[in-house]
Structures are given as C-alpha cells and as structure tokens.
Structure 1
Amino acid sequence: MGSLERSATRVQGFQDKEMDFQLIRQLGSCQTGGASIGQCLHLAAKIEDGNPGAWVKEFSNLARQQEEEARQRLEKGHRISSGELFLMACNSFRAAEYYSSCVVPDHARLGMSSRDCFLKAAECFDYNLTHVRIPFGEEALPVYLFTPEKDTRKEKTLLIVSGFDGTLEEEFMARGMAALKRGYNVLLFAGPGQMDSCRFIPQSSFIPDFERVVSTVLDWLTARKESDPQRTALLGISFGGYFATQAAAHEPRIKALIANSPIVDLHAYMNAFAGFDPAVMPDEDDFTVAEIPVIPAEIMNEQMKLMSTNLITRFGRGSMKKSFVYMQEFRVGEHLKEIRCPSLALLGEGEGEEPQRQFEAFCRGVSGKLDSCRFTAAQGADSHCQVGNLSYSSGVILDWLDECFS
C-alpha cells in the first residue's frame, strides 16, 4: 500500500518552554499579516531547541529575504504585495531582535531594520502616519500616530504601550490594525528602557514613574487636531500593564484603561519568573553582565544568560541583585484607588499564580467601573497577552472600548 503525503512541513515546536512561546507568538501574528505559518514551521524545524543564536540566524536570514523580495515587487509597481512583505520582514527582524543580546551592535541593527521595513510597509497603507521622537529629558520617545483617514479629524484615540520586549511595530499588527478598522486613531509609543527606545539609545533604562512618559505623550497628542480629549484610552501590554496602570493612577486625561495583564507590583511579578527574590541574594552570589559568560552552563544555560544580560542592561543598575532591588520601586501601591476611569482587566488562564494574584489585586483596588475577562485555552487565547488568538483578544478590547465611548 502506498502512503499519501501532502506536505513535508510538520507541526512541531520546541521542548524549551520559552522558545515554544516565542514560536506561538510568531505564529499568532499570522492573523494580522506579520508572518506565514509555513515559514514559521519551516524555521522551527531548522532551529536547535533552546539555541538563541540559531533562532537569530534563521529569522534574520528570513527577514532579509522578505525585505529583498518586497523591494523587488515595489520596483515593479506591486504596492500591495510589497507592503505585505515589508510587514513580514519587519516582524521577522523583530523575532531575531528578541533573541539577540542587547549589548552587541547587532541588536540595535536588527531593531532598526525592523523599524525601516515597517516604515516602508506603512507607505503602502491606506492610513495616515506621523512618526516622531518627542523630547523627554535627555532622551526622545519614539511615537507612531496612525489615523484612519488621510484627511484628519477629531477621533477617539487608543494609546498602546508594550512591555519588556514588545515593539511599536508588533503592537500595530497585534492590536493597532484592529483599532484603525473600527475608526480609532492609534498612538503607539515607548518609554525609556523599552525596545524601541534602546534602538536609538542603547543605555536607556526603565523608570518606575511612567506617568511622566504618558503625560509627555498626551501633551503632544492633545495639541493636535486629530485628538478628542474626552475619548482617549490607554492599553498596556505585558510589562506595559504596569506602565499603563501606573500612568492612569496619576494622569486624569486617561478616560479608559485596559491592562493586559494588570501588573501592580513588578518586583513580585518578576520574582515568580525567577523562582526566588534576587534582591535578597548574598552579595557574593550577585553577578554583572561582564561575569555572565563565565558562569558554568550547568548553572545557567545560554538562553538564561541572554535573558539575564538583557534584564540587567535594561534596568540600568549594573547587576542582577541591584536590578531586583530597583524593581521594588515599580509598585502602584495605594495609588491604585486613584484610577476612576472605566477599566478592563485581561488575563490568560495559563499565565500562572502571580499574574492571577495581581489581576485580582487590580480588580479589588481600582475605584472606577471595572470589567474583566479571563481568556481560555478553548478560545486559543490562554497564553500571555493572548498571542495565540490576537483577533479575538482585540475584539474583546475594542468592543468594550466602543461601549465606553458610545
């Protein structure tokens, strides 16, 4: 008997949990044009399980191929096809950027390549884009403002801030496009220490008083004719759940808040990932970025070395212990009750005990009207930030926001 075989591609991911999540993250972007299932699975079969360097190599190679093909199609006048390929190249560069060390020049180069491809793609969109960097102390905040019409008018606006490793371009694909389809202005921005800011200033580091960032962005936005000040919402993704919550507790110009997921105590949240509190480790056990390469592999594998390097660098405190001590300042605390605008709290049921605890603390603590949603595996959305079903998550967020602003 013969056998019927319809494809050489196989649906198999990674044993390494973090790398498997990153694969799901990339596959999830297929819904919004950021990747193709076939190419993701093809690369997954080539990448050694848990090997960050192999991931970077394969996704950066794919990104360059997609970018080159996009340019060729644009030269032939195929605007739509070119825009689609530039968007995929942007997201492939982002995937490579995620697993690259932020202390090597290639990290910023991958990030800027992602940004460049995105701006090329945006030239093919039927939306108006303004991209600027707004002065903020000694830095400048990267901002994209999209409006649904070429001729601008006052509209409701959704501000979106990502977290530790998300980017403006990724959030445009994940949630911004869905908001534009529903008639929203979409403002994507990043503060100090976030991926987009570090592309320009590698030494940029996170700050706990993120309301200063949001106030600066709102000052710029409200001076523009596209903005309706009474219909301005803020959405925080991942670590951005802290940024957005902290900002809404201090900034009354936020008229609706979506926390996906709510983080009210970043130190406790990150302790859950570490499995202990590095802030109380003995000084002799502390380590710096320079010491990470000589840590034995049986104590810290290559993926953990990479993540530790990026964490220490992005918090700007020089060592692992000092980074976690600094995280103790990233707490909303009693200011949570100052959030009086309507709020939506989101959580995937697969996110674990500490995210669940902080979700519940957020729901108990805010003073304004509260709604919440727990996404399930049956909905394909139980993972962190619902990366497995972005369109469903966006529907929940934007239907709720439509009702708030109706």
Structure 2
Amino acid sequence: MTHESQDASHLSRRTALAGLVGGAGVALATGCTSSNRTSTQGVAPSPTASATGSPVGATPGVMTLFRDPAFNFSGLWALGGAGFGGSEVGEVLTAVNTINKAGLSSQTYVETFKKLGDQLMRAPEGSKPDRQTRRLRALRAAQYYAQALFFVLGSDTPESEEELYRAGRGAWDKFCELCDPAPVTAGIPYGKTPLPVWFFRPDDSGKQRPTVILTNGSDGQNVDMWAYGVSAALERDWNALVYDGPGQGQLLFVNRVVFTPRWETVVTPLVDWLVARSDVDAGRIALTGLSMAGNLAPRAAAFEKRIAALVAMPGCLEPWLGFPREIREILTPNKEQTNNIWNKEVVPELPAAAAATMKKRFEPFSIPSMLAAREGKVFTDFYTPAKSIEALTITSVVGRITMPTLVLDYEYEQFYPGQPRTMFDKLTSPKDYVKLTAATGAQLHCSPMAPQQHCNVVFDWLQETLPGR
C-alpha cells in the first residue's frame, strides 16, 4: 500500500477507509559486487515529475492505462511481460481500450482478460499453429488469466476463482509441455501437501550448472517467474526452479494451504531435491524473492546455509507494515475485541473497492477468508490472518544471513517504502543495494514496466557473485 493517512484522528472510519482504496489497490499488484557498496540505477526525477500526467502518489511518472491506480499497476505489469513473451503489447492495449470503453470495473477487467486467455488457448481461425506458436500463445494466455484472477473477488463471479486459477495453471502447464526441453516437474514433500515444482534447464545434456530458486510473492502466478527469472536464467546457461509454496498457486487455490512464517521449511526440501541432481552445481544455488517473497527468501536463507547467494526484490522486514495504519490499528491483543471492531465498526462502513482489496490481501493467510470471499462476503475473523501476517516479521533473524545478499529497492515503492534500505543496513553478510528508478522507467514495486532491466541487475550480480569454477 502506498501511504499512511496523515492526521487521521479527526476522520470518520468510513472516510479513512475510503482513502485506502487507491493506495491499497496499487500495492496489490502487491552491476554490483560483494564489496558492500550502494548504487542507484539512473537519476531520480523531481518527486512531482510525471511522464504522462499520472496522479502523483498513485503511479507517478508512468503510462496511464487506467485512471484507477490499482488497475493501472496491473495493466503495466501485463504490458511489461511483453519483453519476455509473456504478453503482446497490442493485445494488452486492445484489452485496455475495451475495458475503458465498457467502463472500468473488476467485472469488465476480469471478463476482458479471461476472454483473451480463452481465445489464445484455442487455435486461431484459418491456420494450424505450430508447436512454437502454441507454446507462446499459452504463455500469454497464462498472463491474461492471471490478470483476471487478480480481480475476480471484486467481480460478479467471485465463486469462479478456483476455476479461473485452473485455467491459468492449464495454460502454464501447456506452455511448459511445449518448451524444449520441457521442465522437469515433481511434487516435493512438504507436510501433507507436496510442493509442485518446475525445473527449467537450458538443455537436457546433464551439464552441471548454477541454479536459481525463484520465489513468488503473496499473489503472483508462475507466469510472473518466467519474466522475473526463468527466461533470463536460461539465456545465461543457468537452471531455474519455479515452485508453489504455501499460500501460493495450487497450494492456496486448490489445496487450501496458507502461508507459513517459517519459510525455511519450504526452501530446505527444494534444496534437498536440487543437490541430489547431477545437473545442479550444489555450490552455486541462489535464492530470489519477488514482492512479499523479499521477506520469505531472506527468512529461509537465515537458516538454510546451502544457499550461496540471496536476492530480495525488494527487501522486506515486516509485511504487516505494508498495510495502512488504519488497518493495522484494528488489531488488538484480544481476538474478540479485534473482531468486534472489524465486524461492527469497519465492515459496515467499508467501500466495495476497499472490501475487495481486503479480501484479496487476506485470502493467502486464511482459508475461511478465501471461502467467504468466494461467496461474495467479507470475512469475519480479522484477528487470525492479521496475526499471521504480523508473524512474518524477520527483523530478529536478518543478522543470521551469512551468504552474499543483493537488496533491491524501487523509486516510489508502494508496498514497503523504506524497508529495503533498513534490511540492507541490518545485514552483516557481504551485501549490495540497488535502487531502480523512474529515470529508466523502472520505478514502482518490482519495476512492472522494466523486468528486463530488473533481470539484468539481478543476473549480473549473481554471475559476479557466483562465478564459474
């Protein structure tokens, strides 16, 4: 979320919550060496600079696809994927025009992007697409289904969430099936529910290579990992492992397993599986974390010492601080009191857009929250998922990280402003800090308009940090 309201003591709760809609929605979207130096990519413009007149404080200095900053951020994310084949500029902009013409809403957004995904999963009229065409159409379809999935809880058909997830997963699996070589798939033991993994290799020669484990955030889909690591890894002769952890993808939407604060229990089985493979250089396994995984990956690396290099994108010590003060203040030490405030004072005053935002933000931490949202209802137990988010705080364990670490930050970071730099300062391992800026169009959480720049920074650092033997 983008901000904390100033001097809110005189505001009604309704007024304060109404002010969350734009900022909260945005966040839903939400060359270094180990020499302990800091660098910034580009020169930051004035805080009021705007390339196209976008409202400052929403999506400053970026292309305006939608007037609402939440939808605008997601649209930019879809557009940015084009650099890695994860979207088509013309398809995205045509969808944007269709949505704006119909009237921007969760419903029109979901309908338009789902229809686009459906079209791509069917053969185009009058042609017989070859393997590569079907592969790339499936990749783009996975992106468009993910776009629809993101807003489905605010649409007229929230009950279709799992079905929509399965459509996107089907497109992703079809894409993977048509890759050459296809990624190795497996279910790695984790509690009662195996972790689905996709292990990508540049070829099937069996050559031993460095490997990057790519960790998604709280609401990303596998297609995002293609643009934020897999493609770049393969181009540089690295292996790449993509997985669904608790609170993510299949484990959330199908198996109904929520996030855990002990992410090392997720990563350690992945490392066990990798080091047992002859095509993995066990001494060069890197771990990255995108979005909220900028908290999860460092937590895992603090305990799993076989990780040789860590990248937090961005660094995040306390995900709970990503919620505005008005939301955090609902949580009290007493569960009954907290839920009384939520149900009696907050929910009746909650604007529809803010309600949809809260449903989306809380569902990875509470299955009752997710199931209520699928019925078009607001969850009644605020306390339990809020405590789960609060438990993700890693301030006390960052000092245990020993491997070289790169912390990324972004100009106009909406989710966790200030936290990347604080994490960097607390690290005692070899470390680097890079801030991506508006000077090259790489601003905002995770640089949605510049995943190629993002990958260049990350993999330049990884290859310098973990050179070939």
Report the TM-score, using the length of structure 1 for normalisation: 0.88
**Does the alignment pair 1:301 with 2:351?**
yes
The answer to whether the Cα contact below 8 Å between 1:343 and 1:369 also exists between their aligned partners in 2 is yes
Q: Select between 213-222 and 393-402 the one with higher mean Cα deviation.
A: 213-222
**SS at the partner of 1:382?**
coil
Find the partner of 2:340 among 280, 284, 292. 284
Counterpart position of 2:453:
392
The amino acid that maps onto 1:146 is: F
Question: In the TM superposition, what are the counterparts of 1:141-180 in structure 2 within 5 Å?
Answer: 141-180=195-234
Alignment of 1:256-405 (within 5 A): 256-271=309-324, 276-280=328-332, 282-287=338-343, 295=347, 299-316=349-366, 319-352=381-414, 355-405=416-466
The 10-residue stretch of structure 1 (130-139 or 342-351) with the greater mean CA deviation from structure 2: 130-139
**Post-superposition CA distance 1:262-282 (Å, at most 9, x none):** 11112223346x664332385
In the aligned structure 1, how far is the partner of 2:310 from the partner of 2:203?
25
Following superposition, the deviation at residue 348 of structure 1 comes to: 0.9
Residue of structure 2 equivalent to 1:6: none
Deviation at 1:50, TM superposition (A): 5.2
- Number of matched pairs: 385
Q: Is 2:263 aligned against 1:207?
A: no
Superposition pairs for residues 113-128 of structure 1, below 5 Å? 113-128=167-182
Given residue 315 of structure 2, which amino acid in structure 1 is its aligned partner?
A: P
* Letter of the structure 2 residue corresponding to residue 305 of structure 1: A
Q: How far does the alpha carbon of each residue in 1:115-152 deviate from its partner, in whole angstroms, 9 at most, with x for none? A: 22222222332334112222211222121100111222
SS at match of 1:334: coil
Contact 1:317/1:323 (CA < 8 Å) preserved in 2? no
User: Does 2:187 match 1:133?
Assistant: yes
Q: Does 1:53 align with 2:115?
A: no
Structure 2 segments unaligned to the other structure (5+ residues): 1-62, 369-380
Cα distance in 1 for partners of 2:351, 2:224 equals 28
Q: Could you list the per-position Cα deviations for residues 226-260 of structure 1 after superposition, in whole angstroms to 9, with x for gaps in the alignment?
A: 21111000000001111101001111011100000
Cα RMSD of the aligned pairs, angstroms, is: 2.4
Alpha-carbon separation, structure 2, partners of 1:218 and 1:304: 39
Match of 1:227 among 274, 280, 292: 280
TM-score computed with the length of structure 2 as normaliser? 0.77
* 8 Å CA contact 2:319, 2:416 repeated in 1: no
CA distance in structure 2 between the partners assigned to 1:317 and 1:124 by the alignment? 34
Runs (4+) off by over 4 Å: 70-73, 102-105
Distance 1:366 1:400, change over 3 A: same
For the residue of structure 1 that corresponds to 2:278, the secondary structure is coil
User: Unaligned regions of 5+ residues in structure 1, if any?
Assistant: 1-10
CA distance in structure 1 between the partners assigned to 2:276 and 2:122 by the alignment = 39
How far has the Cα of 1:155 moved from its partner?
A: 0.7
Q: For 1:206-241, what per-residue CA distance to the aligned partner results, in whole angstroms no more than 9, with x for missing partners?
A: 110111000111111211112111100000000111
Alpha-carbon separation, structure 1, partners of 2:294 and 2:466: 21
**In 2, distance between residues paired with 1:393 and 1:87?**
20
Deviation at 1:77, TM superposition (A): 5.7
Distance 1:190 1:70, change over 3 A: farther
Give the aligned partner of residue 19 of structure 1. Answer: 71
User: CA 1:317 to 1:106, structure 2 compared with 1: closer, same or farther past 3 Å?
Assistant: closer
State the match for 1:8 in structure 2.
Answer: none
Residue 387 of structure 1 aligns to a residue in which SS?
A: coil
* Contact 1:234–1:244 (8 Å) recurs in 2: yes
CA separation in 2, counterparts of 1:50 and 1:209? 39
Asked if 2 retains the 8 angstrom alpha-carbon contact of 1:317 and 1:326, the reply is no
Q: Which residue of 2 aligns with 1:3?
A: none
The residue that corresponds to 1:241 in the other structure is: 294
